[in-house]
Chains A and B, each alone.
Chain A
Amino acid sequence: MTPYNGLLFFYIMVALLLPAAAIGLCGRKLKYYGLFFTVAMLLTAFDSPQKRITLLLFYLLQLLLCEGYSRLRKRCDRRPVLWLFVLLSVAPLVIVKLGGIIPELNFIHMLGISYMTFRSVQVLIEIYDGLITELSIFDFSYFLLFFPCVSSGPIDRYRRFVKDTDMRYEREEYAGLLRKGIWKLMSGALFNFVIGGLIWSEWIAKLAESGFAATVSYMYGYTFFLFFNFAGYSMMAIGTSYILGIRLPENFNMPFLSRDMKDFWSRWHISLSTWLRDYVYTRFCMAAMKGNWYKDRRTSSYIGYVITMMTMGLWHGLAINYIVYGAYHGALMCLNDVLDTRWKSFKKLKRQKYVEIILVIITFHLFSFGLLIFSGRLF
């Protein structure tokens, strides 16, 4: 059964959320019931023995790696050891992606593998950094498998998540969270099913297969569709998490108002872009600066943008449209940075009302074109 899809799914989920609301309103800790909810919903979503065994094996591998590394780290802080653990952690995901082009490797099929891998790698890196010193099996398991965001995010952070699981909300405070949760769940459903669904059936599905005008119309339609579909999905996930006392981070913040591409990435799929910023871009630039790899420090930033955006593209899949999508965004980020640093008045210009409107329109077209590349229609 696909998460957040079909009436039956929602009936089961609502039935299992009612006890959570009751526990929360009584002012009790929600994490034990939360784990029960997660396991029950996972069994519902992973509805065949094969799917359940795959999930179990994946979970055990990640648990073993993170718990093992957390112990090892106390005795050894060498970076290559971290790399080895990260490599082992992403191995199943890499096999899944390679399976898309090499039939012999096409044997792992698992819902949510990309998003769970992100969470696990984050834990490994923060253990290395010394920011996660104790890793409880309960907390890690709950974090990795947390059902509301298991299939498509938002991507939460371990230390933030654990703070929420240990919260004991006052009755009033939880009531506020519950109201917000229900509201988000309902608005998410409106975005995803009603608006997204209508854009698909009334706009995109009616377009011709090819032709310039149809492709331009598809570009706009697909951009709006993807926003309502994905932002709606994220809102449903966040809403559900609120009811369980976990405040998953927001994933979209009015991306259509972005003034430039940097601004766009702080508004679109935020949990992914900040993950990549913190664990790929920042780390690459820091290493480059400390090691004096390049004469001009800005060079490390440009190379960092390209590596980060290519990683994002490849993470979506090993297909030409995703690779071009990554390269396109890498190039745009570099261009954005050149404008910011070389053209001194650009920053001041950005704040003028009429310039802002023009920049919003340009940025909208830049990312819409990116999504047209992403959709695969051009290839």
Chain B
Amino acid sequence: MEEKVLAILNDICGADEGELEMDLELFDEGILDSFGVISLFVEIEKQLGVKFEPTEVERSEISTPAKIIAQVKQRM
């Protein structure tokens, strides 16, 4: 599951494998924006069957790759 989430994230952020560190602040660094979050939710639902409503999580709860993975885990 972790690898899949990271692969989706790399794809959306246009990053190479291993480039995004687990604690990287994606919004502060300008890597993820509103559109990126939407793509992320849509892909996670498509590939992993885990659904996020648009206002279900605050940005602070999904601001790093590690936090995103934790949120997905909670819902599996």
Question: Which of B30, B33, B41 touches A286 (beta carbons < 8 Å)?
Answer: B41
Contacts of B45 in A (CB 8 A): 290
Contacts of A130 in B (CB 8 A): 53
Q: B2-49: which have CB < 8 Å to A? A: 30, 33-35, 37-39, 41-42, 45
Contacts of B37 in A (CB 8 A): 282
The winner among A278, A285, A298 for most chain B CB atoms within 10 A is A285
Interface size bucket, B side? 10 to 19
Q: A264-298: which have CB < 8 Å to B? A: 277-279, 281-283, 285-286, 289-290, 297-298
Q: Main SS of chain B's interface residues?
A: helix
Q: A42-69: which have CB < 8 Å to B? A: none
A-B contact count (CB 8 A): 40
B60 interfacial by beta-carbon distance below 8 Å = no
Contacts of B33 in A (CB 8 A): 262, 340
B55 interfacial by beta-carbon distance below 8 Å = yes
Q: How far is the CB of B61 from chain A (nearest CB, A)?
A: 13
Q: Are A289 and B39 neighbours in the complex by a CB distance under 8 Å?
A: yes
Question: Complex: how many Å from CA A285 to CA B38?
Answer: 7
Q: Are B41 and A131 neighbours in the complex by a CB distance under 8 Å?
A: no
> B residues engaging A (CB < 8 A)?
30, 33-35, 37-39, 41-42, 45, 53-56
> A residues engaging B (CB < 8 A)?
126, 129-131, 157, 262, 277-279, 281-283, 285-286, 289-290, 297-298, 301, 337, 340, 347, 350
